[in-house]
Structure 1
Amino acid sequence: MKTLTSNPVFIYDDQEIQYKFNEDHPFNQDRLLMTVDLLRKCGALPDSALCLPRPATAAELLRVHALAYIEAVKALSAPVPEDTWVQAAGRYGLDTDDTPYFAGMHDITSRVVGGSITAADLVMSGAAPHALHLGGGLHHALHSKGAGFCVYNDASAAIAHIRDKYGAKVLYVDTDVHHGDGVQWSFYTEPGVCTLSIHETGKYLFPGTGAVNERGEGEAFGTSINIPVEPYTEDESWLECFGEVLTETIARFQPDVIVSQHGCDAHAFDPLAHVCCSMRVYKAMPELIHTLAHQWCDGKWIALGGGGYDIWRVVPRAWSLLWLVMSEQAIIGQLEAQPQLRLPQAWLDAWGGKSPGPLPETWLDPVHAWTPIPRRQIITDKNRQTKEIAMMYLK
């Protein structure tokens, strides 16, 4: 695999599907295989765009994680961990149903972190204008604790690397339906990093944080922006809140680079949340980020994966649309004229027999056929109030 310096780069390694807790866990990295296959079958992912991730170094992990935590992760990565480490797993958040320890987790998660740092280096060095690492986006891991399906926080590690090596101002944009808590807390007192997270309100959803009054501390006050939207929020309200707050934030903060996390679990089909967006959001949202990156950051844009638990109907389409936008593929223009453009038949044939239910046959959802959400105007009004509060102290 080689990298074309004039084109976006797709960081990928089949081994990343080994980031797997157990057979029944909702975090299923087979979604990576389906996404890559969809992009290949629509002719949008040539081998020349691919770049392998490399493992993170100890120093790179230590920028965002405590040494004791890393040692615990290593010890619990053994095929049969010692009893003393098993007994200590709860201290590090690695004994829960959400984030249980598993054999080999240190090595594979270090590669995930290294993949996001690789993406950062390619963009910051000028070797590529944009880079996408769908295996990344593990935004819930904390300094000394695993959480929310996340062992190491590759997003925080990549941002810390950018700050240390390049001295750049970073805007982190998190569109996962769950608050980007691990990244926010990593840089809550760092004025050179601005974190913006749009997510379902923590009143009802893990991790319970991300209120509008979480704004940063000290010199960094005003650089933590949260947009907690209501359950059953739909496309128009989501895009209104996201677009207005992001556009104003980037104009105020004026970053050197955007790092974005693209969990696609705000989709109506996702089983772990209550927001009701369609695939339209997953086309419009990266389009806005792409435009703003060129307007404010000389195009510098690093995108990561994230949540997404309907791995058949949602994730392959959403993540493929992200790459199609980032790499300016013709399909994006075709979708403007043909909203019900069909997915490649070869992809439908390859995965249809494996899916537990019918696969969608078009890139975008037929939202006109969806049952209308009750209380739509009340939800929209509440989200507008939240949006206004979120923008009160932008820095």
Structure 2
Amino acid sequence: MGYRFSDSHPMHPSRLDLTMRMIEGLGILERDNISLLAPQIATVEELATVHDRDYIAAVQYAGEHPGEVNEERGLGTEDDPVFSDIHAASARLAGGSLQAADAVLAGRALHVVNFAGGMHHASRGRASGFCIYNDAALAIQRLLDQGTRRVAYIDVDAHHGDGTQSIFWDDPRVLTISMHESGISLFPGTGFANETGGPQAAGSVVNVALPAGTTDAGWLRAFHAVVPQLVAAFEPEVIVSQHGCDGHRRDDLSNLRLSVDGQRQNALDIADLAQRHCEGRWIATGGGGYNLIEVVPRTWSHLVAIAGGQPVPLRTPVPGRWLDYVRDRYGVDGPTAMNDDVDLWWRSWEVGYDPADAIDRTIMATRKEVFPVFGLDPWFD
């Protein structure tokens, strides 16, 4: 809750408070197989495994001089304003994902969720897009440093996971897959199909840049036309995923038209990939998500329940005490059910490609770029 840029900033910590209250109201934490860990503040040494030391020092300095702007490091900007506790608060989010990696490495857990994490825009030396330290990248690097041979990173935030991509751009041990709204219409303006990795890691970067207005049907069609095939070919030992829920149709910071139902299905699909290819080893983070009442709490409560092995049924009523809290605290009525009651049918890729469909063209562009590297669709090569 200390990760607070300002009262008016879209990345407001109330979304975390509301999510935890809903998780508690649904009884998810009462399950015998779920443990709750308090995140520790990542040390400078730990942060330096993926971030430049000069950048870490710049973040620390910024917290002591919050009135200054450091454009080179992305600090003090409109997206990333400085606050006095910026280093410790950001390092705590990072520490949570490092603890997730440690738990998986030690075999204490198969699935770990840090829904306060997912700061995927932060690069080695620069803050960006509300993100200071890249906790997902830190978790991936911890896994690699402790002997994990291959990690698949799956990012389903509405915005391109540019920071994580850049950190592992030339590392063949990491497959980064980002599904997002096209950079033509959305920040950060990157993440196109022809971004495929460095010279030592060709094909290790995968981007599915979907057009504005994409709904659940197109999103799930694209996911199932690209992600399962590549994950199977890559054979990861752990999956790390980023579950930004800002692609929801009621989120003002993207132009996608997804539902809570579709985002829940995405989490189920990723959990299934971890079960099939990684013996269940899966670390999930949060990410973007700026509709604080209607979207974020429901989506991430579903994520935690899925990771716990007992998904919350779609038509489950929202806990009454949560609705009472929202009404008393915010003066509005919250959603009454854990779903948006939409039809999740999508057209399987196997039934055919429609060249007149913008989503199908996006899928084909991605497959042409990376599938031949893995021996898939070799006729493209």
Answer yes or no: same fold by TM over 0.5.
yes
SS in 1 for 2:165: helix
The answer to whether the 8 A contact 1:232-1:379 is kept is no
Quick one: which amino acid aligns to residue 43 of structure 1? Answer: G
Q: What pairs with 1:36-115 in structure 2 (closer than 5 Å)?
A: 36-46=20-30, 49-78=35-64, 80=65, 86=68, 89-115=70-96
- The separation in 1 between residues aligned to 2:48 and 2:11, in whole angstroms, is 25
Residue by residue over 1:4-51, the C-alpha shift from the partner in whole angstroms, topping out at 9 and shown as x without a partner, is xxxxxxxxxxxxx11011111000111111111111111111396201
The answer to whether the 8 A contact 1:230-1:379 is kept is no
- Partner residue of 2:360? 384
- Partner residue of 1:194? 175
- Partner residue of 2:378? none
Quote how far apart the aligned CAs of 1:121 are. 0.9
Question: In the alignment, is residue 303 of structure 1 matched against residue 284 of structure 2?
Answer: yes
SS in 1 for 2:239: strand
Question: In the alignment, is residue 323 of structure 1 matched against residue 342 of structure 2?
Answer: no
Structure 1 residues 380 and 192: alpha-carbon distance in aligned structure 2, compared to 1, 3 A threshold:
farther
Unmatched tracts of structure 2, length 5 or more: 344-352, 375-381
Quick one: which amino acid aligns to residue 358 of structure 2? Answer: K
Structure 1 residues 188 and 356: alpha-carbon distance in aligned structure 2, compared to 1, 3 A threshold:
farther
Quick one: which amino acid aligns to residue 102 of structure 2? Answer: D
- Partner residue of 1:253? 234
Q: Which of 267, 272, 293 pairs up with 1:312?
A: 293
Quick one: which amino acid aligns to residue 45 of structure 2? Answer: A
- The separation in 2 between residues aligned to 1:53 and 1:261, in whole angstroms, is 18
The answer to whether the 8 A contact 1:175-1:197 is kept is yes
Q: After alignment, is 64-73 or 298-307 more displaced?
A: 64-73
Q: What pairs with 1:279-290 in structure 2 (closer than 5 Å)?
A: 279-290=260-271
Question: In the alignment, is residue 27 of structure 1 matched against residue 3 of structure 2?
Answer: no
- The separation in 2 between residues aligned to 1:315 and 1:27, in whole angstroms, is 11
The answer to whether the 8 A contact 1:124-1:166 is kept is no
Residue by residue over 1:302-335, the C-alpha shift from the partner in whole angstroms, topping out at 9 and shown as x without a partner, is 0011000001100000000111111122633xx3
RMSD: 1.9
Quote how far apart the aligned CAs of 1:168 are. 2.7
Q: What pairs with 1:1-395 in structure 2 (closer than 5 Å)?
A: 17-46=1-30, 49-78=35-64, 80=65, 86=68, 89-329=70-310, 331-332=312-313, 335=314, 340-355=315-330, 357-367=332-342, 381-392=357-368, 393-394=370-371, 395=374
SS in 2 for 1:329: coil
The answer to whether the 8 A contact 2:354-2:360 is kept is no
Quote how far apart the aligned CAs of 1:355 are. 3.4
Quick one: which amino acid aligns to residue 248 of structure 1? Answer: Q
- The separation in 1 between residues aligned to 2:356 and 2:91, in whole angstroms, is 41
Q: After alignment, is 169-178 or 30-39 more displaced?
A: 30-39
- The separation in 2 between residues aligned to 1:317 and 1:197, in whole angstroms, is 22
Unmatched tracts of structure 1, length 5 or more: 1-16, 369-376
- The separation in 2 between residues aligned to 1:160 and 1:42, in whole angstroms, is 34
Query: Sequence identity of aligned pairs in percent?
Result: 38
The answer to whether the 8 A contact 1:179-1:209 is kept is yes
SS in 1 for 2:329: coil
SS in 2 for 1:199: strand
- The separation in 1 between residues aligned to 2:238 and 2:163, in whole angstroms, is 19
How many equivalent pairs are there? Answer: 360
Quick one: which amino acid aligns to residue 45 of structure 1? Answer: L
- The separation in 2 between residues aligned to 1:210 and 1:352, in whole angstroms, is 40
Structure 1 residues 123 and 246: alpha-carbon distance in aligned structure 2, compared to 1, 3 A threshold:
same
SS in 1 for 2:312: helix
Quote how far apart the aligned CAs of 1:162 are. 1.0
- The separation in 2 between residues aligned to 1:330 and 1:178, in whole angstroms, is 26
- The separation in 2 between residues aligned to 1:220 and 1:46, in whole angstroms, is 43
SS in 1 for 2:176: strand
